[in-house]
Structure 1
Amino acid sequence: MAKSASNKAFLLGYRLYIVAFFIFLAAPLVAAATFAFNDSLFPSLPWQGFTLDWFFNDTEPKLGMFHDRRLLRGLYYSAIIGVMVSGLSVFVGTTNAFLFVRGNFPAKNFFYIIMILPLVIPGVILGISILVMASNIANGVEDRFDYELEFLRPGILLVVLGQFSFVTTITSLVITARLKKFDYTMEEAALNLGASRAQVLRTVTLPFLRPAMIAAGIVAFLVSFENFNTTLFLVGSESPLTITMYDRMAKVGSTPVLNAVSFFLIVGSGLLALISVIVQRNAPAD
């Protein structure tokens, strides 16, 4: 009897902990989203009434996010950077998966650790290191050959390279985990039937990896889109959305239009994450 009561108490405590944990995670997001619909010039209580002005209004002082050219420009740059980082990361992540799952070369475990190392390095350190390295290379080439390497100067391309340096680790791990589940006899059967290596890769192996590649691409896009620490040191005049929002906060302070942007990003990120889960759930087991 005492054991049954103890189990019930443990189960109740565990459920309360789970509820409190999700409330802790969701409360800031709910608060930010709520003030996006408050008919007030400041994101604070008391509640002044429901409005969509912070999304669609085209006049000051309640200029909506869909009419704020600077925010839309930042959104555009973030999307461009995210797509480029996602594409590069999935491609390199796929090749890394084949390298570390099927490759056999000296110091393989050492290089695998090197590959995942960027995940534990703070984004600030990555940003500073990449900026210093790129600037030194660009300055050295310019001094010696009188040739300017524009892509190594702060700007979109350097941001893409900086984010790619750690996002590709995430895609590599996701695709590697999928490749480890692959049944090699499927490739052997296709080869015995006369298919070439390229045909086997295109018709057997890559279709098996496709769910992981799609999911990894979505995760890479989301990580790139919300990145701030690394991007801050590498950005040029084309500021992505995170930097634009930070600059707006520093100069003007918090306004409900930033809450509207936050709500838009919460919904968009949630939908992409849901697609990622559905893709992986519907993937064949073998």
Structure 2
Amino acid sequence: MRSERASDRILQVYLGLFLLYLFVPLVVMAVATFNTSRFPTVTPWTGFTTRWFEALYNDAGMWNALKNSFIIGFAVIVVSVPMGVAAAVVLNGLHARARSFLYALMVSPLLTPGVIIGISTLVFWDRLGVKGGLHLATIGQSSFIIAYVMLMVLARLQRFDSSLEEAALDLGASHTQVFRRILAPHLRPAILSGAVLAFFQSFENYNTTLFTRGTDTTLTIYIASKVRTGLTPAVNALGLILILVTVLGAVGYEIMRRREQAREREALRRSEQAGMQELQLA
């Protein structure tokens, strides 16, 4: 009993330290947004101000970089999610030997440094006459982000009952109908999670984007350039806004998920009541 309590206490302390490690930097960054110092810091505290939000509003370069990051992020979703899902479905249907070889081949981009992917993407497409830009950044990022989507969908496929697919085919359904009505609903959580992961992997990418962006600038490139020339708390203001938007999105998603679960429980309860009434009438 004492050993279990000690283990629980150690686990609680570890979780507390882990949460502090995650959130203290975000709190410090948020507080620095309201410091009058022209440098992003909380010490020394020189006074309270909101002028850095005004500076952010007037920073056209940062807004343009943010727009480019969003464009690339959504383009990466469009490219990575269908290809990642297709790769997972094909890989799941192969025999063990072929699956092992192709799995290692498809996951290998994740083990390749982003600098190498960026340079190789730039050199390869430049020889074909394609210059750097948002389109090439999308291609370069998708070359390894596809693997993330594939892994998430493949993990979900491991819990899929293949007998449902076989039964649908025996009843005359086409492969397209099986995928659309049976497999796709089962994979929907993994596909949505993969899309979110693909967007954030693209949004924060620096190494690959640095070599493939051409003359365009993304948010990570813009912030890195500002670090060399002089960073102001306007970047903290943007970070605080993004954090708030992310938190609100997570809260909204959780509310929708709980409402959906409540509707499913209510539908199950009604079906059970209907079944009991039919048994009583019989």
Q: TM-score range by the shorter chain?
A: 0.7 to 0.9
2:250 matches 1:250? no
Deviation per residue, 1:12-53 (Å, 9 max, x gap): 333223222221222222211211122333323233444333
Is 2:36 aligned against 1:39? yes
Equivalent of 1:67 in 33, 58, 69: 58
Distance 1:103 1:18 in 2: 40
Alignment of 1:261-272 (within 5 A): 261-270=238-247
Alpha-carbon RMSD: 2.7
Deviations 1:67-96 (A, max 9, x none): 311111011100000001112111001101
The residue type equivalent to 2:227 in the other structure is M
- Residue 102 to residue 278, structure 1, CA distance change in 2 (3 Å): farther
Shift of 1:97: 1.0
Q: How does 1:1-286 map to 2 (within 5 A)?
A: 4=2, 6-44=3-41, 45-55=43-53, 57=54, 63=55, 65-104=56-95, 107-135=98-126, 137-138=127-128, 149-150=129-130, 153-251=131-229, 253-270=230-247
Q: CA deviation at 1:238?
A: 1.4
Q: Which amino acid aligns with 2:70?
A: A
Aligned in 2, Cα 1:50/1:189: closer, same or farther, shift over 3 Å?
farther
TM-score normalised by the chain length of structure 1: 0.81
Letter aligned with residue 175 of structure 2: R
Cα distance change of structure 1 residues 242 and 268 upon mapping to structure 2, 3 Å threshold: farther
Q: Is residue 211–residue 280 contact of structure 1 (8 Å, CA) maintained in 2?
A: no
Distance 1:272 1:95 in 2: 28
Q: What is the CA distance between 1:206 and its match in structure 2?
A: 1.2
* C-alpha separation in 1, matches of 2:206 and 2:97: 37
Residue 228 to residue 270, structure 1, CA distance change in 2 (3 Å)? farther
Contact 2:92 2:99 in 1 (8 A): no
TM, length-normalised to structure 2: 0.82
Q: CA deviation at 1:110?
A: 1.3
CA distance 1:112–1:133, shift in 2 (3 Å): same
Aligned residues: 260
Q: Show CA shifts across 1:215-251 (max 9, x none).
A: 1001100110011121112111111111111112211
Write the distance in 2 (CA, Å) between the matches of 1:273 and 1:89.
23
Asked whether the equivalents of residues 76 and 198 of structure 2 are also in contact (C-alpha less than 8 Å), the reply is yes
State the Cα distance separating 1:273 from its structure 2 match. 6.0
Equivalent pairs: percent with the same residue? Answer: 39
Q: Could you say what secondary structure the match of 1:189 adopts?
A: helix
Residues 52 and 233, structure 2, Cα contact 8 Å, conserved in 1: yes
